[in-house]
Structure 1
């Protein structure tokens, strides 16, 4: 028998649930940092706490679902960063706050892959070495000299124009990962199988092969949205094997990480080409270059850094930005000799001060919210206003004075 818990809200907690020893062990192993398992006075009963990870995790005997605090439409806007929400609508499937999140993520990825490959798969040249009855490409003379008895089928090296390239392998791997989810809705499974049929002749590859983004070229640019979301889906899905036939499936997304990447992508689109956003760029903290930091947002005009910022998705139970969120930004601005830092947050409960000034330094930290509990149009207006503020700060406007220590470079 499989227990399906009522959906737990992000950073929420389930009621007591009685689990078998095998299910409890599988859950503890599979949960990792995604879920927190709380013991109770009864050794067979636990409560399950959600973190910033949303989605679903299934182990033998139990399915746990965690729903985001943001609206589903805005969640998909973050997930697809750059893909308009009307891409979520379909004559058979529409998304609302009560719809199954996993099916929505899966269907969204399938639709993007379907759209990208509808006119055929991208082909490319792949270097191959094979033994052939007819010489093709370059004959490997050294190999022929070592194995003269194989003259009937010599080793040849050639470039094969094929659909079995990294882009298509990524999309095929994503469809197969989606189909591995045991709770997938039948109509979503049918769509995934239909689209997967296009990838005949494309090799099966493990998800670990697709962690690094592929370069975007003129030939594969129409794949860009599908590849970006495919990598995210593969990161979110995992498959672990326990003793015997025990296995756990998960499709969970870290909202903290998703918010950071989404803010960077949206600002980059709005500020280009004059200003560009670099994310997770290493910055030296000390003169000896022994300690590095990685701000979420580094704003550049050409080679010049004009602003540094962090993005914090703080929609936990307390709704507060932690002191470390400010301290990290103070360290960034100090190390990069910048008078101002920008802290972008998603805080629906307790908004911090919009501006604080650091004692004995004069550095200003501006805090600006992006509300994700309203309409998508409202989110777009907030992002436009944020981009306008970044331009003002980059131009030295916005009523901010540069401290003397920064102007003189002391």
Structure 2
């Protein structure tokens, strides 16, 4: 049996017939909300939260396959703008650069964008660099590893344990690109033409070693020499940094690519505000750690804390992707922001939401005088309008007296 379930992020739950094992696997995971339908046996109630993309669950013994596809309310092209700006706000990202026009679903668009950027990176050939290497050799190359020579060779002269810097294409940048290409080739839902081009990119990257699954990604530093790789490496990192799903649960094979809109929105808002405030001489620290209590037992990490040119603290910001209440912004967010302002000694705090059903407003807290602003960004508008709204928020932050 093959079945495709179409969901929309934060839309009402949908009741669908599912095998019990697949339903329980979805319920145990964090990809969608799943629960048995209390009214109809054999059916499960599925509801998408803030994660978008697609996952496929396959039972090898029966061949049953269920694909759950979650569509974002934000157009794919706009989603890539948010992603691109948060990864690289210096202007190298443009909507036309990633080539996602015409794609409705996230995974095909992402696979196409990664292949396109990898192809652009490799047009001048594979990047080469120096990599530390150790080996047993019949000739001296680099330096002799004396302790290893004694431990392994027991006084014999040959072979010689040496360490040297090798000029090679098997460097971190190429390894990361190959790992992302390999990952996409294992995902169901990648269009055939894109898959064919990804296979071509894998062949071009064959000299780079495969990464060991579960280990940290190799480190790379952006430089002038690897500038042509930057865009491809940013996208590859997204593919490999926990946004993909690939594991086996109770005999089921689970594969897919899910993207957390909460984190995407938070990253875009904080990076865009940081850049807007930096132009005016202010410094914004993201995920700035502080403590709520005098004993420093309760940690808190506001999304952004703004500091003035002299280092004085000016304002605190938290980004919230979706208002959960029909009648406006959640009250719990106000209580959280009040705690931030009180602990940091700030007169004003700012909550930034994706556009919901409430306009910008400000609340003055009784007996405290703390003002909490609530802003709403319309993600449906074109990038210039979105950045203009960010600038308005930044102007308000900068105008706040520092303490």
- Structure 2 length as normaliser, TM-score? 0.87
Is 1:259 the counterpart of 2:265? The answer is yes
Q: Is the 8 A contact 2:23 2:34 kept in 1?
A: no
Q: Deviations over 1:108-140 (max 9, x none)?
A: 223233333432333332222100111111112
- 251-260 vs 37-46, which deviates more? 37-46
Q: Is the 8 A contact 1:139 1:156 kept in 2?
A: yes
> Residue 320 of structure 2 aligns to a residue in which SS?
strand
* 2:2 corresponds to: 2
Aligned equivalents of 1:170, 1:307: Cα separation in 2:
38
Aligned equivalents of 1:370, 1:131: Cα separation in 2:
60
- 227-236 vs 212-221, which deviates more? 212-221
Aligned equivalents of 1:212, 1:236: Cα separation in 2:
18
> In angstroms, what is the RMSD of aligned CA positions?
2.5
Equivalent of residue 76 in structure 1, options 47, 58, 80: 80
Is 1:85 the counterpart of 2:85? The answer is no
Equivalent of residue 227 in structure 1, options 233, 252, 255: 233
Q: Is the 8 A contact 2:320 2:354 kept in 1?
A: yes
Query: Structure 1 pair 268/65, CA: closer, same or farther in 2 (3 Å)?
Result: same
Is 1:281 the counterpart of 2:300? The answer is no
* 2:62 corresponds to: none
Q: Is the 8 A contact 2:245 2:256 kept in 1?
A: yes
* 1:19 corresponds to: 18
Q: Is the 8 A contact 1:116 1:226 kept in 2?
A: yes
Equivalent of residue 193 in structure 1, options 195, 199, 210: 199
Structure 2: runs of 5+ lacking an equivalent: 59-64
Q: Deviations over 1:262-305 (max 9, x none)?
A: 11122223333522332112112122222110111122335433
Matches within 5 A, 1:34-183: 34-40=31-37, 41-60=39-58, 61-81=65-85, 82=89, 83-89=93-99, 94-95=101-102, 99-146=104-151, 147-148=153-154, 151-183=157-189
Aligned equivalents of 2:175, 2:191: Cα separation in 1:
24
Aligned equivalents of 2:220, 2:343: Cα separation in 1:
32
CA drift of 1:343 comes to 1.1
* 1:356 corresponds to: 363
* 1:387 corresponds to: 394
> Residue 205 of structure 1 aligns to a residue in which SS?
coil
* 1:369 corresponds to: 376
* Count of aligned pairs between the two proteins: 386
Is 1:242 the counterpart of 2:249? The answer is yes
CA drift of 1:155 comes to 0.7
Q: Is the 8 A contact 2:355 2:377 kept in 1?
A: yes
Aligned equivalents of 1:114, 1:224: Cα separation in 2:
12
Aligned equivalents of 2:359, 2:74: Cα separation in 1:
19
Query: Structure 1 pair 290/382, CA: closer, same or farther in 2 (3 Å)?
Result: same
* 1:399 corresponds to: none
Q: Is the 8 A contact 2:32 2:47 kept in 1?
A: yes
Query: Structure 1 pair 229/360, CA: closer, same or farther in 2 (3 Å)?
Result: farther
Q: Is the 8 A contact 2:55 2:245 kept in 1?
A: no
Equivalent of residue 292 in structure 1, options 293, 296, 299: 299
Matches within 5 A, 1:286-325: 286-301=293-308, 303-314=311-322, 318=326, 320-325=328-333
Q: Is the 8 A contact 1:17 1:46 kept in 2?
A: yes
CA drift of 1:353 comes to 5.0
CA drift of 1:312 comes to 0.7
* 2:61 corresponds to: none
Query: Structure 1 pair 64/150, CA: closer, same or farther in 2 (3 Å)?
Result: farther
- 46-55 vs 139-148, which deviates more? 139-148
- Structure 1 length as normaliser, TM-score? 0.86
> Residue 16 of structure 1 aligns to a residue in which SS?
strand
Aligned equivalents of 2:277, 2:363: Cα separation in 1:
25
